[in-house]
Amino acid sequence: DGGITQSPKYLFRKEGQNVTLSCEQNLNHDAMYWYRQDPGQGLRLIYYSQIVNDFQKGDIAEGYSVSREKKESFPLTVTSAQKNPTAFYLCASSIQGARTEAFFGQGTRLTVV
């Protein structure tokens, strides 16, 4: 089945640690996105990539990093520089950006302990 997979579903991070959230898609989509969702805040764009080996900062990129070495994969690293990382993280992919629908993973809930 084609789709987009995020892992893990739940992740706990200690203060000062970097953690990496996985996002893999087998839909052959060029564009991939990372969003952060806080209660009552909607979805805020962290990073996006419209082609392999290229990515751009979104609205809240500080404290995050990404890579896009393969078309299928767009991992997000939450670094220790992100002061308030506890949130729900959503990865999405699409053909040609918002000209078509975006497909979302099931999300990763990150909690700082």
Among 27, 45, 52, 61, binds other proteins (CB under 8 A): 45
The verdict on 101 binding other proteins (CB under 8 A) reads yes
* Tokens of residue 97, six digits: 């950006």
Name the 3-class secondary structure at 97.
Answer: helix
In angstroms, what CA-CA distances link 105 with 8, 32, 40, 80?
A: 11, 11, 20, 24
Stretch that binds other proteins, among 11-19, 39-47, 67-75, 77-85 (CB under 8 A): 39-47
**Of 28 and 100, CB closest to other proteins:** 100
Q: Which strand (E) or helix (H) includes residue 42? A: strand 42-51
Residue 46: CB minimum distance to other proteins, A? 12
Q: How far is the CB of 112 from other proteins (least distance, A)?
A: 18
* Element containing residue 89 per DSSP (H, E): strand 87-94
Q: Please report whether residue 59 would count as binding other proteins according to CB under 8 A.
A: yes
Tokens of 92: 């999405």
Per the CB < 8 A criterion, the answer to whether 44 and 58 are in contact is: yes
Shortest gap between Cβ of 30 and other proteins (angstroms)?
A: 11
- Choose the binding region for other proteins from 21-29, 67-75, 79-87, 94-102 (rule: CB under 8 A): 94-102
